Every structure is written in structure tokens, then in C-alpha cells.
Amino acid sequence: MIRDFFKNLLSLEGRLNRIGFLHSFVLILCLFVLLSIINHEYIRRTDSALTVYLYVKSLQSILLLALWTPSIIKRLHDIGFRGNYVWIAWVALLMDAHNLMLLNIHIAAFLQKIQLIMFVFYALVLIYYVFLFLMPGSRDVNEWGEPQEF
């Protein structure tokens, strides 16, 4: 069962029920926290802390995107939606303030001005994730296969 989970983690085919989605979320969250701790410890020991921090945060976002995308697509398949709606998660990760600041350090002033818009956007993304976690999958076979059982 665990071997199948890791084998299917990066696969875009099939469906992923709520329990499998939760497992992939916890695994990716633990990996993200571990990378954040490593990043924090490395920054404490270097002089160019901000630049290194921003680059490592961007790499974390890319890693998170690469690992999280298949799970979101398969979860959307389980609910009965096309995987195209994964773009919501992509935009949320790419619009992260750390990633935007890497493009231009002066963008922080702009982000401060649109703080309310960003708050509303991230609130909507949070609702999207809650929807993915709570929405039951279809019980019947759909165009992406049979329901996943745990």
C-alpha cells in the first residue's frame, strides 16, 4: 500500500481519494518544512542571506509545484473535474511574495499596495483547497477510472 502510494505520487493518471490526497499533502508539507529549516539554517551562516533565501524559496516552490500538481490533478479527476483547474494552485504558488521579490526586489512596495487583493486571492485559494479536501469523489467509474479504495 505504501509502495503504491510512492509509485503513484508523480503519476498524472487515475484518481486520488480524500485520504490519499491528505497523505500526499502531509508528505509534501513535511518535505517543505524540512527544506525551510535547512534554508533558515543556511541563511544564518551566509552573508548574502536575502538573495539565497529568495532563490531557495523559489526552488521550494518549484519542488512543491512538481510534487503537488499530480495529486491535485488526480483529486480533481476523482471529483469528476478535468485536471485543467490545477492552474489555480500554480498561480497561487507563483504569486507568492517571495517568488515575486526574486524577480524584482522593489516589488515589495507594490505588494504592500495590493495587500488586500492578495489576501482575497489567497482566501479563494484556501477555499479551493478545502473544496478538494472535503468534496467526496464520485462513487462510480468516471472517464478517469475506477474509484480509489483505501
Q: Is residue 143 a part of any domain in this protein?
A: no
∠ CA 119-16-62, nearest 5°, is 50
Cα–Cα distance for residue pair 88/93, rounded to 1 Å: 9
Tally of domains in the chain: 1
144 part of a folded domain? no
Question: Is-above-0.85 flag for pTM?
Answer: no
Give the rounded percent of residues in the chain with a pLDDT score beyond 70.
Answer: 83
Which cell numbers hold the place of 54? 529568495
Closest to 101 measured CA to CA, from 44, 56, 64, 34: 56
Residue 43 domain-assigned (yes or no): yes
Could you tell me which of 87, 90, 68, 77 has the C-alpha nearest to residue 16?
77
Domain annotation covers residue 148: no
In a domain, 26, yes or no: yes
Confidence (pLDDT) at 119: 87
Nearest 5 degrees, angle CA 109-CA 37-CA 16?
90
What does each C-alpha distance from 12 to 39, 57, 69, 120 come to in angstroms? 30, 25, 8, 30
Domain containing 59 equals 2-134
Average pLDDT, the chain: 80
Cell numbers linked to 55? 532563490
Residue 140: inside a domain? no
Residue 150 has pLDDT above 60, yes or no: no
pLDDT for 79-126, tens place per residue?
A: 988 888 888 888 877 776 666 665 666 776 777 788 888 888 888 888
Residue 150, in any domain of the structure: no
Nearest residue to 85 (alpha-carbon basis) of 99, 74, 97: 74
Residue 147 lies in a domain: no
